[in-house]
Amino acid sequence: MAGKYSDIFPEWVQPHSQFPVNTSGIEDENEVGQLLLQHRYLSECMGGVLPAALDLSHVKRTLDAPCGASGWAYELAWNHPSMHVTGIDERPAYVEKARELVNLLGNATVTQQDIRQLSDEMIPPASFDLVHARFLVSMLSPREYPAVLAALVRRCRAGGLFAWDELEYPITNSPACQAFHALIQDGLKATGRAFSPGNPLGITAMMSRFIQEAGCKVTLDVASAIEISSGTRGRDAFAWQMWQLSKQLRSFLLDARVTTEAFFDELCAQAQQEISHDNFFGLIYMRTLVGMRIG
């Protein structure tokens, strides 16, 4: 039975008013806290960390890869004390904070592992009833997807489940936000990392083929609309995410020669202003596929 978030998460993950948008420079610890708050909002929109129609009665061991700040792993473990949840991530700062969080429970662990180079010794094949992956598009190129997904699916036992979430670019009434994501798409095209030749990101359209080629039969397909309009906590989370992306992608977009420093900085500032307006409207679509490993 899912509990209230004020019961599930410790006090340092509780929002006092709204998601803070700190543009003065976020260090790892603060960044992890922000990511956990974002997870809370996303989970609320979805009605939980996994689709309600999914039968978890036979799930005893779960792998979350990559686990990031471990919000997903922590919430699943809290709601299912008889289940053991293992999280893996390659980033040391995230692993350290994730361990601090899951150590509050007795049925979850986090270890440092790169999903591109999974160790059979540390993460044995066919040893999990459920493997979960989320937002791989932020770290993998189209060419990397088949091998990584196949390796993750191999961690499922025969008949086990593979659950996978991906997002598309947001749809908003902010010209600057739309231009910002168009720049990202231009950068992906220029560097051969695009999933679509057009303006959509395109990863959600490819999920079924990818998951089938990895050795799964699709058993559940769920689409979620995440509200990021003015007046919602999603708006505050989105503003922070936009600021994070502007930091993370600045060098990539400049190196790809799809923008200039002056234009990019002005565009990011304008996007934050437009997001803060009372008449800002937006949605982000997410697709969740669940597949059953064949053989």
Fold type of domain 5-167+197-225+283-293: Rossmann fold (3.40.50)
pLDDT of residue 290: 98
β-bridge mates for residue 22, sequence order: none
> What is the phi/psi pair of residue 104, to 5°?
-75, -15
Kindly report whether the peptide bond that precedes residue 142 is cis, defined as omega within 30 degrees of 0.
no
Token pair 């061991």: residue? 61
Say whether pLDDT at 15 is over 60: no
- In this prediction, residue 26 has a pLDDT band, given cuts at 50, 70 and 90, of very low
State whether the Cα torsion 39-45-51-52 is positive or negative. Answer: positive
Q: How many CB atoms lie within 10 A of CB 9?
A: 21
Specify the length of the chain in residues. Answer: 295
pLDDT of residue 9: 62
pLDDT of residue 280: 98
Which residues, including other chains, have CB under 8 Å from residue 237's CB and lie 6 or more apart?
19, 37, 38, 41, 228
Amino acid letter for position 199: N
Token pair for residue 77? 């473990």
Write the pLDDT tens digit of every residue in 61-106: 999 999 988 999 999 999 999 999 999 999 898 898 889 889 889 9
Which residues, including other chains, have CB under 8 Å from residue 10's CB and lie 6 or more apart?
101, 104
- In this prediction, residue 17 has a pLDDT band, given cuts at 50, 70 and 90, of very low
SS3 category, 233: helix
Write the pLDDT tens digit of every residue in 159-183: 999 999 999 999 999 999 999 999 9
DSSP state of 195: S
Token pair 């039975």: residue? 1
Average pLDDT over residues 146-161: 97
